[in-house]
Amino acid sequence: MQNEGIGTKSQQALKLQQEQLKTERKTVSRERREAEKVRKFELKQQKKKEKHRGR
């Protein structure tokens, strides 16, 4: 009863690689979502300024 893991060493390595890719995708997705949020906010601020420019 040495390693009570799932599958062989190669399967465990694949599983580890999948987990790393999953966390990497999560961080990239989060950064992209935050950047989009900032872009939309700045666009909204710009539109608000343009509305008041003619006064």
The dihedral of CA 20, 25, 31, 34: what is its sign?
negative
Q: What's the rounded mean pLDDT across residues 15-20?
A: 96
- Whole-number pLDDT of residue 29: 98
The end-to-end CA distance of the chain, in Å, is 80
Q: Is the pTM of this model over 0.85?
A: no
Split at pLDDT 50, 70, 90, the class of 24 is: very high
Q: What's the rounded mean pLDDT across residues 11-22?
A: 96
- Whole-number pLDDT of residue 7: 82
- Whole-number pLDDT of residue 51: 85
